């Protein structure tokens, strides 16, 4: 009897612990914690009383436990995390800056904890793209009365996203950066009204106009937000560089294409609304950054992943001429003949647009505009690519580069060692299916790639526990890392060098306990945000971050990353093809993908010109 009681008590303790853990991972309110514990205690009292009653039937005990489970479920639902904007700075009750006068109205920002940086979050750079403005070029922002407090980041753009529980488990088991906090019992809001930017500047006035970095976030043009901790701008501001990041329309709201939309546009555009938002934000910064102490004649555009592809697009858009000087691109680009992602043919975009209309059972743009954003975002189609719309982009990017009409005067770019690994988790790569898995990126050249990197030739020092694996997985990930990501930088750098413009190329290989050298792994190093992840980085990581921040900010200031006390970073030479390896030891290394890049060149040329043998038959 005593053993049964002990086991019952232990069972309730375990239940309480698991339930509280569930509430914590789901970011439920603290009220939910308290109510949950009270419910379990009440059940314990009822169960104890039933235990003393000799006539208490087993059915009553089961009924009481079922009532507890039902109440716990209801508590879980009713105490779900509320929506709340993210504060601009981590310190509580931050001091407010002096009023700043903008053409649209007055604003105030907030100081970070040591008063070294002023942060202005949630500044509207365009009118809300809602109602009749959905799928139209961004308009000027509406003016406001009074003083606007820019102390919170505006909602992120509409996008599909995971539950808080899923995100917490991913952080706990995947990236290992989960942190327990009493302050994060909320969800970050989504909104179609998302066209806002954030500005980080050194505190106090400066007689000298400061260089500016304009950062475009990544996320496959489908997800992401302006305020992700890996690219917050305080550290750049500490180094005398004003940092700007912003949100833009994503997915079906940003890259939907329809002929009727093109017809109603005064510019004949459709399919690139997110890119037009980026151009609008850049134009706003160029026109207004002097009010923040910035130099409108010294703007560097920067981005990672789809943000880097967007930077590539900004470099060739006729609408951005004169709005910036240099470019920083990390882990993506669209300068190839046939970009592997974030770019598509206009006809393909229009075809998907028609599919979406059929999906929602509508026959006109007006009907599609009437669908609530929360429903529209559930589309099964991925609008994750730009296209030549005749306005923002007037030709394939490679054509602009071959004519020398691109705008960036200098380029700092590169990629990471394990770029594609996280995107291939579900693919089991064996000797039997290796060639088939490579065909989407290499076509008939798949066998030649296998000859260069056969199954087992490449192994990874780190793998995810959910990886499907296979004896060819390391080689598959290696080849895809180049094709999807690194190759685009080889092509982009080659164009810049041919034009006689300065180009610097890196290869990030540093391992760590967080993102390591996977896709986006360089971000917290380059933008100085390692300390936002306590326990995951060591002194060697911090030392590398200091060097990378110096490279990035020096480039933003002068177009040359080099400076006193830094390892020399020479201009990239296409003949030597040496990359600056960013690791504990910073050194020049031969491009590890030289042979594969030659193969990709041949494949890309064939996709552009068609099969030479077939051409001979038609001549």
Q: Which residues are catalytic?
A: 305
CA distance 560 to 325: 13
CA distance 591 to 548: 19
CA distance 336 to 27: 43
Unique residue bearing structure tokens 């007689």: 207
CA distance 564 to 566: 6
Which of 593, 595, 588, 544 is closest to 568 using CA atoms?
A: 588
- Burial status of residue 126 (CB atoms within 10 A of its CB: 0-12, 13-18, 19 or more): buried
Angle at 470 between CA 469 and CA 476, to 5 degrees: 85
Mapping DSSP onto H, E and C, the string for 501-524 reads: CCEEEEEECCCCCCCCCECCCCHH
Q: Encoding tokens for residue 120?
A: 């202005």
Q: Encoding tokens for residue 507?
A: 């290869």
CA distance 187 to 184: 8
CA distance 392 to 390: 6
DSSP secondary structure letters along 37-97: HHHHHHHHHHHHHHHH-TT--HHHHHHHHHHHHHHHHHHHHHTPPPB-PPBSSSSSSPPBP
CA distance 293 to 208: 8
CA distance 533 to 427: 30
Which of 219, 247, 253, 277 is closest to 353 using CA atoms?
A: 253
Instruction: Output b/e per residue, 174-194; b: 16+ Cβ within 10 A.
Output: ebebbeeeeebbebbebbbbb
Using alpha carbons, list the distances in angstroms from residue 251 to 179, 222, 313, 385, 466.
Answer: 30, 4, 17, 8, 27
CA distance 604 to 418: 22
Unique residue bearing structure tokens 């407090």: 149
Strand partners, 582: 508
For residues 563 and 550, the answer to whether their CB atoms sit within 8 Å is yes
* Pairing assessment for the beta strands 587-590 and 578-582 based on DSSP bridges: antiparallel
């Amino acid at each position: 009897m005593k053993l049964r009681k002990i086991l019952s008590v232990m069972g309730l303790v375990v239940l309480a612990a698991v339930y509280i853990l569930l509430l914590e991972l789901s970011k439920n309110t603290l009220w939910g914690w308290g109510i949950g514990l009270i419910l379990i205690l009440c059940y314990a009292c009822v169960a104890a009383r039933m235990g003393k009653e000799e006539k208490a039937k087993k059915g009553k005990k089961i009924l009481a436990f079922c009532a507890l489970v039902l109440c716990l479920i209801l508590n879980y639902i009713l105490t779900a995390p509320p929506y709340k904007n993210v504060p601009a700075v981590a310190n509580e009750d931050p001091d407010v800056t002096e009023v700043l006068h903008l053409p649209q109205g007055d604003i105030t920002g907030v100081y970070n904890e040591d008063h070294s940086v002023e942060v202005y979050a949630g500044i509207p750079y365009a009118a809300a793209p809602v109602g009749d403005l959905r799928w139209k070029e961004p308009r000027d922002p509406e003016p406001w009365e009074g003083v606007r407090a820019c102390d919170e980041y505006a909602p992120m753009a509409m996008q599909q996203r995971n539950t808080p529980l899923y995100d917490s488990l991913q952080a706990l088991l995947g990236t290992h950066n989960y942190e327990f906090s009493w302050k994060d019992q909320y969800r970050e809001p989504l909104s179609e009204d998302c066209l806002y930017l954030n500005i980080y500047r050194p505190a106090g006035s400066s007689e000298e106009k400061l260089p500016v970095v304009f950062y475009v976030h990544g996320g496959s043009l489908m997800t992401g937000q302006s305020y992700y901790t890996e690219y917050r701008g305080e550290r750049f501001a500490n180094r005398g560089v004003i940092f700007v990041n912003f949100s833009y329309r994503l997915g079906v709201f940003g890259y939907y294409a329809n002929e009727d939309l093109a017809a109603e546009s005064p510019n004949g555009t459709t399919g690139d609304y997110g890119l037009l938002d980026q151009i609008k934000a850049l134009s706003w910064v160029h026109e207004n950054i002097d009010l923040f102490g910035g130099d409108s004649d010294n703007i560097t555009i920067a981005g990672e992943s789809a943000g880097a592809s967007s930077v590539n697009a900004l470099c060739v858009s006729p609408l951005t001429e004169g709005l910036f000087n240099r470019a920083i691109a990390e882990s993506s680009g669209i300068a190839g003949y046939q970009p592997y992602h974030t770019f598509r043919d206009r006809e393909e975009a229009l075809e998907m647009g028609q599919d979406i209309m059929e999906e929602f059972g509508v026959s006109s743009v007006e009907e599609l505009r009437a669908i609530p954003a929360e429903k529209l975002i559930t589309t099964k189609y991925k609008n994750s690519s730009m296209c030549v719309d005749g306005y923002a982009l007037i030709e394939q990017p490679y054509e602009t580069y071959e004519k020398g009409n691109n705008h960036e005067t200098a380029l700092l770019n590169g990629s990471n060692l394990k770029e594609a690994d996280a995107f291939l988790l579900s693919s089991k790569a064996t000797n039997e299916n290796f060639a088939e898995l490579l065909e989407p990126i290499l076509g008939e050249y798949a066998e030649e790639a296998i000859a260069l990197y056969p199954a087992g030739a490449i192994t990874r020092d780190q793998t995810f526990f959910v990886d499907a694996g296979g004896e060819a997985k390391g080689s598959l990930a290696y080849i895809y890392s180049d094709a999807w990501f690194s190759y685009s930088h080889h092509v982009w750098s080659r164009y810049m060098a041919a034009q006689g413009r300065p180009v610097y190329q890196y290869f990030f290989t540093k391992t760590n306990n967080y993102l390591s050298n996977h896709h986006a792994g360089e971000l917290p190093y380059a933008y100085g945000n390692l300390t936002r992840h306590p326990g995951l980085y060591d002194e060697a990581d911090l030392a590398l971050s200091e060097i990378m921040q110096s490279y990035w900010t020096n480039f933003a200031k002068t177009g040359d990353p080099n400076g006193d006390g830094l390892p020399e970073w020479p201009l990239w030479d296409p003949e030597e093809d040496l990359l600056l390896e960013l690791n504990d030891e910073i050194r020049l290394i031969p491009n590890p993908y030289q042979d594969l890049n030659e193969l990709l060149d041949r494949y890309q040329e064939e996709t552009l010109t068609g099969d030479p043998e077939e051409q001979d038959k038609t001549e």
